[in-house]
Structure 1
Amino acid sequence: MVRFKSRYLLCEVSFADPRSRQCLEERAIFSAVRDAIARAHGDYGAACCAVSFAVKYLNAYTGILLLRCRKEHYRLLWSALPFIIHLESRGQRQPCRISSIHVGGTIRTCQRFLIRYNRQQLLRMLPGCQSEEERVSVHRAVLSCSLKQLEEEGGSRDEDSD
């Protein structure tokens, strides 16, 4: 039996209006990325990435998402991300930008990177808070970026897919 190796792209969605993040949906991201790949790489790129492309994780509060693609074709996905300039969700078109912050071979390596990244973000954001309530809400939002649910579903099957 052959095992297909995957690459996981940890990305951050940035909106012009931060309140727009609440409207993020997996379907909207999936279709926007799929369309961007088709525009950038044509039918070949769309077919290569369609086989195993999936949105594995999405946190609407922090704008972090995890995309999965086959190892051989992850560069097609990676190079199409800058072409996404808006997301359509709930009948609204929100201008946005998706930037890749890490590429990993397993979900676990992406989770480790995300923990380090969140700590850095927390240290950058906390000095700008003006009240204790603001500090607590920023702290909760950053710490909510946990992939516990994803780990429970995936178990250890993604662990050795480097």
Structure 2
Amino acid sequence: MVRFKNRYFLCEIIFEDPRCRQLIEERTVHTSVKNAIARIHGDFGFACCSIAFSVKYLNAYTGIVLLCCRKDFYRLLGSSLPFITHLENKNQRYPCSFNTLHVGATIRTCQKFLIQYNRDQLLLLLRNCTSEADRQAIQKSVQSSVLAGEPLFESREDSDDSMEMA
């Protein structure tokens, strides 16, 4: 039995109007990404990426999306993401861009990266905070985001399961 290896793209969808995030569905992201691949890489790229392409996770509140494709064709997907300029839902166009945060070999590595990324974003908010009530709320969020037995600050040099290049 042969196991097919996948690559997972952890991306952030950046909208011009943040209120548009709640209107986006997995189906919308799926068709937009597949259309971008077809537009950039033609029928060959579309066929290669359509084999096992899926949207594994979409958080409409934060704009985080997890895309999955086969390892052999992940570069086709990665090179097409910058060309997505809008998402279309119910005959409405929402201008946006995709920011690739991480490419991983497993969902678990993407999850670990996302936890660290969110913690870093909370620490940036904490640094720029002006009122004491907001500061305490953000500190509580930072402390709740720490996994049991994990230090609050860790380096990102431990990329054990990260992307292979060949």
Q: What TM-score results when the alignment is normalised by the length of structure 2?
A: 0.78
Shift of 1:135: 7.2
Q: Which residue of 2 aligns with 1:9?
A: 9
Query: SS of the residue aligned with 2:3?
Result: coil
One-letter amino acid of the counterpart of residue 13, structure 1: I
The aligned runs of 1:111-130 (5 Å cut-off) are 111-129=111-129
Aligned-pair identity (%):
59
Q: Which residue of 2 aligns with 1:45?
A: 45
Taking the aligned partners of 2:61 and 2:135, their CA distance within structure 1 comes to: 15
Taking the aligned partners of 1:52 and 1:42, their CA distance within structure 2 comes to: 17
1:106-131: per-residue Cα shift (whole Å, max 9, x none)?
00000011111010111112344555
Q: Which residue of 1 aligns with 2:93?
A: 93
Query: SS of the residue aligned with 2:13?
Result: strand
Shift of 1:91: 2.6
Taking the aligned partners of 1:135 and 1:13, their CA distance within structure 2 comes to: 28
- Bigger CA radius of gyration: 2
Q: Which residue of 2 aligns with 1:23?
A: 23
Taking the aligned partners of 2:85 and 2:104, their CA distance within structure 1 comes to: 24
Taking the aligned partners of 1:70 and 1:115, their CA distance within structure 2 comes to: 24
**Moved >6 Å (runs of 4+):** none
The number of aligned residues is: 144
Which structure: greater helix fraction?
1
In terms of mean alpha carbon deviation, does 53-62 or 125-134 score higher? Answer: 125-134
The aligned runs of 1:70-85 (5 Å cut-off) are 70-85=70-85
Residue 129 of structure 1 contacts residue 135 of structure 1 at CA under 8 Å; is this kept in 2?
A: no
Taking the aligned partners of 1:24 and 1:130, their CA distance within structure 2 comes to: 33
Q: Which residue of 2 aligns with 1:151?
A: none
Taking the aligned partners of 1:92 and 1:127, their CA distance within structure 2 comes to: 37
Question: Structure 1: any 5+ residue segments left out of the alignment?
Answer: 145-158
Q: What TM-score results when the alignment is normalised by the length of structure 1?
A: 0.80
1:29-77: per-residue Cα shift (whole Å, max 9, x none)?
0000000000000000000000000000011111111000000000000
Q: Which residue of 2 aligns with 1:102?
A: 102
